[in-house]
Homo-oligomer: A and B are copies of this chain.
Amino acid sequence: MNIVLASNSPRRREILSQLNISFEVVPSDFEETLINMEPIALVEHFAYMKALDVFVRLKNNLAEDTYVIGSDTIVYCGEIMGKPKSDEDAFKMLKALSNKEHQVISGLSVIQGSTGKVITMHESTKVWIRELGDREIMNYISSGEPCDKAGAYAIQGIGSLFVEKIQGCYFNVVGLPVNKLFRIMKQFDINLI
């Protein structure tokens, strides 16, 4: 079995590596543009489009038993939060998440290379953020960590100091819902362990 990860995210690469699965990275060129969709429909759409882009590009060079994985993650707190566009944007997002519960939703789409068969799922995890002071938000922003993260925080980094607790799949919050990947591959008759 060959896995192609249609994402350049170092977090997703790290999660796959921890599973002891060998894989290849082929970043997708798909450009995410927020469209008028419900959060779950949106992340499933983005995940599929990412996998599809790589599948189409590699189609003639795909080894037998290849599976292309696409994934997309958003933060949802009444509104959809992607990556912040500026420090001010990051500040606004973190203020909006302070002292509240929100959802992190990922779409995961896997395309079987030999048949083009697609299985897409999503996963949602609740995250509780404690009350954040303006000063600590500013300190956090100056660490540089928020700039490329959906919702302007990284649960696997300094941002863990903001998280009170979670309910659901942790790896979904980082960017790749491992339990859903296991289930999708099982539906393709592949046992990851």
Interfacial residues, chain A to chain B (CB-CB below 8 A): 15, 18-20, 130, 136, 139-140, 143, 155-158, 160-161, 163-171, 178-179, 182, 191-193
Tell me the number of copies of this protein. Answer: 2
Is the pair A193, B18 in contact by a Cβ cutoff of 8 Å? no
Interface of chain A, main secondary structure: mixed
> Which B residues lie within 8 Å of A19 (CB)?
157-158, 160-161
Complex partner residue of A193 from B158, B163, B164, CB under 8 angstroms: B158
Residues of B within 8 A of A15 (CB): 160
Per the bound structure, the CA–CA distance linking A15 and B163 in Å amounts to 14
Choose from B155, B161, B193 the contact partner of A161 (Cβ within 8 Å).
B193
Of all chain B residues, which has the CB nearest A156?
Answer: B18
Whether A160 contacts B178 by the Cβ 8 Å rule is yes
Q: Once bound together, how far apart are the Cα atoms of A155 and B18, in whole Å? A: 10
A20 to B161, CA, bound (A): 11
Closest to A125 in B: B165
- A155 adjacent to B179 (CB under 8 Å): no
Q: With A167-B167, A170-B155, A170-B170 as given contacts, are A161 and B182 in contact (CB-CB < 8 Å)?
A: yes
Question: Is B166 in contact with A166, judged by CB distance below 8 angstroms?
Answer: yes
**Is B168 in contact with A166, judged by CB distance below 8 angstroms?**
yes
Check if A136 sits within 8 Å of B170, measured CB to CB.
Answer: no
CA distance A45 to B167 in the complex (A): 28
20 A-B pairs with CB atoms under 8 Å apart are A19-B161, A20-B143, A20-B157, A20-B158, A136-B193, A155-B170, A158-B193, A160-B171, A160-B179, A163-B169, A163-B178, A163-B179, A164-B179, A165-B168, A165-B179, A166-B166, A166-B167, A166-B170, A167-B167, A170-B170
